[in-house]
A = this chain, B = another copy of it.
Amino acid sequence: MKEAKLIGVDWGLSNLRAFLYDAHGRVMAEKRAPLGVGGMAEGGFEEALVSVIRDWPRAQRLILCGMVGSRKGWAEAPYVECPAGAQSIAAAMIEVPSQLGPVLIAPGLSATSADRLQEIMRGEETQIVGALADAQPNFIIAPGTHSKWTRIDNSAVSSIRTYMTGEVYATLKTHSILAQLMDGDTHDAPAFTLGVRRALASPALLNLLFSVRAEGLFARIPAHALAAYLSGILIGSEIANGLAHHEFARHTPILVIGAREIVDLYMTALHLAGVNEVSSRDGADAAARGLWTLAQAKPAA
C-alpha cells in the first residue's frame, strides 16, 4: 500500500492513540504513545506526530481529536454548541498545515445545562459519533476523569452533564489523609459494592468520604479494600445523581463507553441502582470509528 485513506489520532491529556485505516474504514494498525497534551511543549505537536507514525504509509487525510484541539493543544478548535451530531462536528473541524500535509482537528462540544451550568466535552464527542454509527442509544455515559452523561436525540448530543468522579478519586487517593490508610488500589468487589450501596442510599457525599477514614481506622474495611470502597462511593454518588437528574435514563437503554475495567465498575453500579438495560463499547474502538465517521462526514476539499 503506497497511500492510506486516513490516519486518525485520539490525542488526550496523557497519551495519544493513532489509527491507520484501509479504504473501507477498517483499522489496519494502531499505536499508543505517552505523548499527552499535558506534557507537550509548544510547537512540539507536529514533531511528536511525525515520530509516532514515521513507519506508516502517508495518508490522504489526517484527523485528530481530543485535548489536542484545546487552548493548550496544537491549535484551538472552538467548542460547537449542542445539539450537535457527526455533521456539525465535522463541519467545525479546523485545519492546520504540517509537513505531513493539512491536519484536521475536531472541536469539542459545549452546552448550558437546565440549571444554567456551563458544560463541555472534548474527545468524548468523537467516541460518541463512533458509537452512534453502529447503534441508536438514547443515553450514553463516558466515564473517566470527568465522566460525561449525554442525552442523544436524532443521532445528536442534545445535553451534557459532567461528574468529576475520576479526578476526585485520584486526588483524594493520592493527596488526602485517606492515602495514609490505604494499601494499594486492587479491586475488591464487596468493598466496591458497599460503597455503591451507601452512596445510592445517602446523598451526603462529603459524609461518606469521611467514612473511608473512619471505617479504615476501626478496621471495619481492610486497608487493601479502602480504595475500592472510595471508588464505589464516588461512582455510586454519580449514578444516584445522574439517574435522579435524568429520570428517563432509568427506563431507556444506556450505552457506557470506556476502557474495560472502568466500564465494568459502572455496569456493576448501574445494576445495583436497578438499571438493567446497559450495553458497553470499548473507548478506543469507539474513538477509531468516530474519527473515520468524521472523515466521511467531511469529504476532502
Interface residues of A (CB under 8 A from B): 115, 117-120, 146-147, 161-165, 167-168, 171-172, 174-177, 198, 201-211, 213-215, 217-218, 220, 234, 237-238, 241-242, 244-245
Q: Are A118 and B215 in contact (CB under 8 A)?
A: yes
Q: Are B205 and A237 in contact (CB under 8 A)?
A: yes
A35 to B137, CA, bound (A): 58
Contacts of A217 in B (CB 8 A): 118, 120
Q: Quick one: which of B117, B174, B204, B214 contacts A118, CB cutoff 8 A?
A: B214
Q: Are B172 and A174 in contact (CB under 8 A)?
A: no
Q: Are A120 and B176 in contact (CB under 8 A)?
A: no
A115 to B198, CA, bound (A): 9
Contacts of A162 in B (CB 8 A): 207, 210, 214
Contacts of A175 in B (CB 8 A): 171, 174-175
Known: A163-B210, A171-B172, A206-B241. 15 other contacts (CB 8 A): A115-B198, A117-B211, A118-B214, A118-B218, A118-B220, A146-B210, A162-B210, A164-B207, A165-B206, A167-B176, A167-B177, A168-B209, A171-B171, A206-B238, A207-B241
Main secondary structure of the interface of A (DSSP, over half): helix
Contacts of A201 in B (CB 8 A): 115
A234 to B210, CA, bound (A): 14
A174 to B171, CA, bound (A): 10
What number of copies of this chain does the assembly contain? Answer: 2
Most buried by B among A119, A174, A204: A204
Chain B residue, CB-CB nearest to A202: B115
Contacts of A146 in B (CB 8 A): 210, 213
Contacts of A165 in B (CB 8 A): 206
11 A/B residue pairs, CB under 8 Å, sorted by A: A117-B198, A117-B215, A118-B211, A161-B207, A164-B213, A168-B206, A203-B241, A204-B242, A205-B206, A205-B237, A205-B241
Contacts of A117 in B (CB 8 A): 198, 207-208, 211, 214-215
Q: Quick one: which of B171, B206, B238 contacts A163, CB cutoff 8 A?
A: B206
Q: Are B171 and A237 in contact (CB under 8 A)?
A: no
A201 to B115, CA, bound (A): 9
A117 to B209, CA, bound (A): 11
Q: In the complex, how many angstroms separate the beta carbon of A81 from the nearest chain B beta carbon?
A: 12
Q: In the complex, how many angstroms separate the beta carbon of A161 from the nearest chain B beta carbon?
A: 6
